[in-house]
Amino acid sequence: MNYQQVGASGVKASRVALGVMRIGGKTGDEAAEIVQTALDCGVNFFDTADIYGAGRSSMALGQALRDVGVPREDVVLQTKFGIFMDHELKFTTRYDFSRAHLMEALDLELERLQTDYVDFALLHRPDPLVDLDELAATFAEMRASGKVRHFGVSNMGPWQIEMLQAALGPELRLEANQLQFSLMHTHAIQAELHVNMEDDASIMHDGGVIPHARLRNMTIQAWSPFQYGTFSGCFIGDPQFPKLNAKLDAVGAELGTSATAVAAAWILRHPAKMQVVCGSMSPEHIRETCEGAEVADRMTRQQWWDLYFAPGNDLP
């Protein structure tokens, strides 16, 4: 496993993180095996959110970490909050950055995770009703209490981040932005290439999130690294994508690794120094994803471009 600093936090994190959205439905033994597999691969970074499985995912992660006996200081725990969900109706009713909601969500997460602090807390989605002064005071209180060491965002664009950071000030840096990014979700790169064009690929959906992250030294954490669509299926091995899978297999043969590792390495090869958030609960897939961190530095420029072209992307 290779490691990197998250933002400017000083935290040394594995380039592959384990995302546990789906762990809540596993048995205790299964959850422990999943976590132990990640640890054995060198993963030290675990990502969850208060809404995952109505809190069950964080509970399962916290118990699994205890069951495998890993010291708290040896792992980096990240949670996300700011979404208010009616779990009975299984429906999100609002995004909420109020002090009352964030403090309650954080305390519940600490209880579920069986810890007295999280290393990173990320705002999960943008709240258009955010009171900037209230948010700054809330984050300062969380930091002063020792409950949160570092902060970040998820699914936000550059101007949203700039607005929040201006209110938070330099002492409360936003270190990460968790975004969907993969070989089948490349519009952030397409818009960078199709500058001064009028075709569909030139549409700037996110305002330049990748160059902004590099400029501000924020770590992009790529969620759903193997999915097509937002919550569709895995593109690896899917007959709907024959050209992409043929190229994944070909590059895998050249690098001596699996198609899954190649798909992860494609993300990690980017000089923005992204993290891959692996959401698979399969020990085999976790191991294959972690191999991507080992081969990313060996992926050539042409291999990277060939993989970019394989889903149908082009150059202007």
Domain membership of residue 183 (yes or no) is: yes
**pTM score, whole prediction:** 0.94
Please give the structure tokens belonging to residue 199.
């075709």
**pLDDT at res. 48:** 98
Give the CATH number, domain containing residue 192: 3.20.20.100
Taking only the tens place, the pLDDT of each residue in 32-79 is 999 999 999 999 999 999 999 999 999 999 999 999 999 999 999 999
Please tell me what DSSP assigns to residue 3: E
Domain of residue 214 covers 11-309
Domain membership of residue 234 (yes or no) is: yes
Supply φ then ψ for residue 193, to 5 degrees: -85, -35
**pLDDT at res. 128:** 96
Domain membership of residue 314 (yes or no) is: no
Whether 184 contacts 228, CB under 8 Å: yes
Total structural domains in the chain?
Answer: 1
Domain membership of residue 213 (yes or no) is: yes
Instruction: Give the chain's residues under pLDDT 70.
Output: none
The contacts of residue 133 (CB under 8 Å, 6+ apart) are: 167
**pLDDT at res. 232:** 76
Domain membership of residue 1 (yes or no) is: no
Amino acid in position 121: A
Domain membership of residue 295 (yes or no) is: yes
